[in-house]
Structure 1
Amino acid sequence: MADEGFASLCKGAEGLAAFATRGARSRGRLFAEGESPTRTPYQRDRDRIVHSTAFRRLKHKTQVFVATEGDHYRTRLTHTIEVSQIARAFARALRLDEDLTEAVALVHDFGHTPFGHAGERVLDACMAGFGGFDHNAQSLRIVTALEHRYAEFDGLNLSWETLEGLVKHNGPLIGPNAAPGLAVPRPILDFDALFPLDLASFAGLEAQAAAISDDIAYNTHDLDDGLRAGLIELEDLSGLDLAGSILAEVRAAYPGLDRSRTVHEIMRRHITRLVEDVIRTTLRNLAERRPRSVEDVRAADAPFVAFSPPMEAAVRQTRGFLFTRVYRHESVAAKMAAAERIVADLFERLRAEPGLMPLDWSQGCERMSEERLARRVADYLSGMTDTFAISEHARLFDAVPRLG
């Protein structure tokens, strides 16, 4: 096949494709560091990400269902691990840098607030007069400023390529290839002025692989969690082009199979179909457009890592189904409304009385402008886990909204 031949032609001396990102050619770090004798730049980034406080906090942050609802639903941490596993599969299939791919996958959700998108919505509203709040921009703030671990710098001092992937994994933020009407969050613009990330270009294939892995993971596993929670039933999948065809296939192959095994068979095949479609489509895109370097990838006018048009339609259909039947289900909506109240209450109370925050957060607040103080409170609040936000609300208020 032409696409396989092109992939073979592009195999580099390091075992990577010619269009892969190479650590030896990294654009470096904001704060210069000596090279490691045992690890590549992207291995060091991955290790720093895994050992960070922000990574551990993902354990108790909502994916769809609040952590107090049960032990078996996905959290931000388990979701992140699943994204990383899928992304590594793409890196191996496409001969990309596996460590960089994994680093971008592992860091992509660092900036999420407690209670997931519900917390982000209300925090963005609270910050409307102060530059807003965006979880992707907050991820950048965490790894460039808010993690306090190293003696010589704030943040994790990740390599340029990992930061590029974090900021641009969903595509350019400015220029002709950016999404129409996209507003670049101020924290990203501020950092870009200090350490330019080429916001008008696409990120490398490693970041593109991590981004589409996120889509595959949540489209599959939110179906799984919706079934586990009883918000949808197996028969509801029949109307979906992808999941419905797999349901029929499993039932034909295994008549009488119990529900639990049926669900697992559907989900594992669901991931496999999506992954194999992306690999075929990406190899075809590479063969047709023939990038010879990562710079060719960045300069392209469209991403290379993508679903085929029929699969993209099926993914959109699944996403619409999840919004209607799971994310906006009345039981989920009621819990998220209570979660939004917790975040809003905490923001207003801590902004009015910053001394209620720990000393390392409250110190100097009395000398801050209104905008800087609001950002400090947002930084502190967004780092909370679900469980800590609930306990802090109970400490500071007489009545705590019920989430269970």
Structure 2
Amino acid sequence: MPTSNARRLRIALYAMIMAVVAASTLTTVLADVADAHGNIVAPASRNYGCWQRWGSDFQNPAMATQDPMCWQAWQTETNAMWNWNGLFREGVAGNHQGAIPDGQLCSAGLTQGGRYRAMDTVGDWKAQSIGNSFSVKLFDQASHGADYIAVYVTKQGYNPLTQPLGWGNLELLGHVGNTPASQWTPETGGVSIQVPTTAPGRTGRHIVYTIWQASHLDQSYYFCSDVNFGGPTPSVSPSASRSPSPSVSPSRSTSPSPSVSPSRSTPPPTPSVSPVPGGCAATYSLVGQWPGGFQGEIKVTAGSAAITKWTVTASWTNGQKITSGWGALVTVSGTVATAKNETYNGALAAGASTTFGFLGSATTSTNGAPTLTCAPV
């Protein structure tokens, strides 16, 4: 009958449309994955771990009770899990702390329209048990290499189960400098590198926070990995089929000086200007150093009267040079750096303080404190 034929035709047409939509969606997801680059596979970052554990079974309601933090992440934005290799920001220019507010470190400051916002959710994420000396393994699908990789660990006393992650909770404990992909370890589908890290005095639950500055563009990747120092060793290893060769350890011959851990020597702050009415003082702290580079912090304190703006100059005598900074607008001329306040930290009440941080290069083993001046402008 014509009516029956018309019905069958409509059903067939609907099935064809749904097939096209499904194929288009799958193509979009696969294209997004192919266009992105990498992640921390050990200890696994939050979104990589969720994809690794549940990517083949992400609609299983058992996840809600077995892995509730991953469940809320999959429910919030499925594509954040499929695109486990795309958690990055562009154009940060090394000003990580200025670009990413406290409480949003795991989502890279709600990057890409907040796609990865569930990564910032505070709670009992699955944690990998590790020792105080460990390595962070970064897998790079696109073989772009790194300008640098910085590994931070939360300070003892921080509780990731109840506290949002802020910059003040972190300490830099691992670092490698400029390393082209040719020096990384070949893997199936890309390359990998390990960053040796030592976290003395840590026990219990913590977050390992890794910043990967890719070499091809001003593209910065940010990863939160949940760990348990001194906890029981997991009895089940992640399935190799769900990861880009995570069970293969990189060759030690291709790692950039893996046996060298960052020095944790921190000299006392070096005040250079005494507070004066309406003035300001600047003090310097060495946060960490490694062959060829270091991380520093400068604290700016208002004098006996409030100020609305400040400018700090830092001059080194041993060839040191700031390469990137956050919390201030930094310009560099040779070994002299000038830092001006950001819009959010220029106004200081009498006696109040703010800080800005930076990474620097050091051409000699001598890495003394800079001479500082501070002026309210």
| TM-score calculated relative to the size of structure 1 | 0.24
**Higher alpha-carbon Rg:** 2
Higher relative contact order (CA 8 A, sep 6+): 1
Higher share in strand: 2
Higher share in helix: 1
